[in-house]
Amino acid sequence: MNITEIKSERAGDSYYKIDHNSGLTIYVYPKQGYNSAYAIFGTRYGSVNTKFSVDDGSVITVPDGIAHYLEHKLFESEDGDAFVRYAKTGANANAYTSFEKTCYLFSCTDKFDESLEILLDFVQDPYFTAQTVAKEQGIIGQEIKMYDDSPDWRVMFNMLEAMYKNHPVKIDIAGTVETIAQITAEKLYDVYNVFYNLNNMVLCVSGNVTVEQVLKTADKMLKPCQKHNITNYFEDEPYKICEPYVEQCFPVSMPLFNLGFKERADRMLDESKLAQTDILLSMIASPTSELYRSLMDANLINSTFAYELFEGPGYCSVIFSGESRAPKQAAEMIKQYISKQKKEGLSEDDFEISKKAVYGSIISSLNSVSSISNAIIDYHFNGNEMFSHIDAVAKTTFDDVNSRLLEMLDVNNCTLSVVKQLEEEA
């Protein structure tokens, strides 16, 4: 077992990376003076991982939505439900499946050791039967229908479907009623045995904890397993979007929009590119930006306006979203502003403001134990490191961000998705 201390002079803090003998990577970020602790146990397995091979074997294809389905089923065991066990320790537990990972988590102010033991126990102890799998199909089927009736969910996935031709990121994380009907107990065990290998997973703990405390439970609960080489397959994805505009009618009081700029996704961004992108997007669309003020003055957005870098294995885009009385007009103003900045260059004053804002936001997030653990697991799965990202932000120059702008945000390669009222209802 190898324990490495990771320090940051800028943050004035440190945490520990442990290469555990079981094959699991563990991060522990002690926070003195804190009363709470937060743990997240995740696997590099999400909704997009539907086609893969193990140790160069034959290619396996599984139904859409199976990663999310597995997350639901893992809380059940032959002895009962994990939530019932957490109720006895007082921990607040949850789980989620995203496009690229599945995570199980809890927060607590007391009985941390017992709660961590529950987490490591049920995630390593799958229990699927034909009866329990069939029962869950109705439950998740209702969840899928609920998402289909959510304007916020539909405006995003309509955009992804119009942007991506082949990549499974365009498919709902929960799958469809038809695809989950294909899921069996055997298929759940198949994907579990591939992706829930400790060598493919990570545990991040932060707050009122010590390394020794975490290791004591880890040594007791973790079951060593053989490392396998997992290869995920994605069809070639063209750079160009499929459709520039898509809309759907919903009973909404104000139209919603997602404007997505499709980026090249040859490989995951490193710390330097991430830092440049974070600062650039803040310069373009944060509440201090010229664009934000112009959109507000024109009554084209409200406080729901947001932006994000949306990146994962084989996909990358930048998304601007929010409510707008005139989504097409708002999208056109965003594109015109980006074109203007590319032609005339960015403002150095805006750069200094945004750089300080991005840096300050990251540093302030270190006061939240959930933000710490969630960030560490994201950086780990992306091949980056949190403190290195902080250094990268501090070292980013104005010229770096100007160059980054010219590499991305192609105004001729974006999709506008709108959810609005029926004309006769509006």
Catalytic residues: 71
**Reduced to 3 states, what is the DSSP secondary structure of residue 283?**
helix
Q: Please give the Cα distance from 222 to 218 (Å, whole number).
A: 6
Sheet containing strand 51-54, strands side by side: 60-61, 51-54, 230-232
Q: Please give the Cα distance from 169 to 93 (Å, whole number).
A: 27
Q: Please give the Cα distance from 401 to 398 (Å, whole number).
A: 5
Q: Give CA torsion, residues 383, 366, 304, 162, to 10 deg.
A: 10
Which residues, 6+ apart, have CB-to-CB distance to 23 below 8 Å?
Answer: 197, 198, 199, 224, 225, 227
Owner of token pair 């496009």? 99
H/E element holding 255? none
In degrees, rounded to 5, the angle at the alpha carbon of residue 47 between the alpha carbons of residues 131 and 86 is 60
Over the range 154-181, which residues count as b (16 or more CB within 10 Å of their CB) and which as e? bbbbbbbbbbbeebbbbbbbbbebebbe
Q: Please give the Cα distance from 394 to 358 (Å, whole number).
A: 9
Going by DSSP bridges, is the β-strand pair 201-207/25-30 parallel, antiparallel, or unpaired?
parallel
